[in-house]
Amino acid sequence: MKTKLAEGRAKGRDSWGEPWVKDEQLAEQLVEHLPKGNLGNFEDIANFAMMLHQRGADPHALTLAFNATQSGPDK
């Protein structure tokens, strides 16, 4: 997990703790990673969960993000 976070920081993805980043955005990214099967995906999902936890996010944000994928414009 630390390695994946370091790789993300090196690519400029290090602002998950900033107030302008919304919990909903992180929850959506976590949900979008669920069906992926690439190497390192478990670490990505775990890191998104850690980010949400550290921010004190409401777990209901995951439910809303998941439900949005089920009722999106292409569904």
Phi, psi of 53 (to 5 degrees): -65, -45
User: Tell me, what's the pLDDT at 74?
Assistant: 59
> How far apart are the C-alpha atoms of 54 and 5, rounded to whole Å?
14
Is the pTM for the entire model greater than 0.75?
A: yes
Instruction: Express each pLDDT in 12-49 by its tens digit.
Output: 888 898 999 999 999 999 999 999 999 999 999 999 99
Q: Is the pLDDT of residue 73 over 70?
A: no
User: Tell me, what's the pLDDT at 13?
Assistant: 87
Could you state, in order of their start, the residue ranges of all structural domains in the chain?
Answer: 22-66
Count other Cβ atoms within 10 Å, centred on residue 28: 19
* Inter-residue contact 31 to 65 (CB < 8 Å): yes
Instruction: Express each pLDDT in 44-71 by its tens digit.
Output: 999 999 999 999 999 999 999 999 988 8
